[in-house]
Amino acid sequence: MHRPVEPSQFGSWAFTRRAKDSGLVPSMGSIGDCYDNAVIESFWSRMQVELLDRQSWRTRLELANAIFEYLEIFHNRQRRHSALGWLTPLEFETRQPITVA
């Protein structure tokens, strides 16, 4: 029995090398790390429900603009995230660091 996505597809050394040679960081975790995929899978699931399933677009440009607006306006500046203590990513990144005396 084969799973729909084999771990080797994500753990390819050639892919990792090519990404690094291009100046990209291909992964937050180790090769084949299932937790790394969970983050982006969760994001795509939310974007599917909150944006993509709600309407259709006539052109790729309209879709690209909708995705940009979703990311830059809604996701980063308005949507509160449980993993960030119910702050928006912008609030989380700009808050003052807490100093311990």
Q: Name which of 5, 50, 7 is nearest 27 in CA terms.
A: 7
Residues 40-83: tens digit of each pLDDT: 788 899 999 999 999 999 999 999 999 999 999 999 899 998 88
SS (H, E, C) the chain: CCCCCCHHHHCCHHHHHHHHHCCCCCCCCCCCCHHHHHHHHHHHHHHHHHHHCCCCCCCHHHHHHHHHHHHHHHHHHCCCEHHHCCECHHHHHHCCCCCCC
Tokens of 28: 């937050």
| pLDDT > 70? residue 28 | no
pTM exceeding 0.85: no
| Amino acid of residue 80 | R
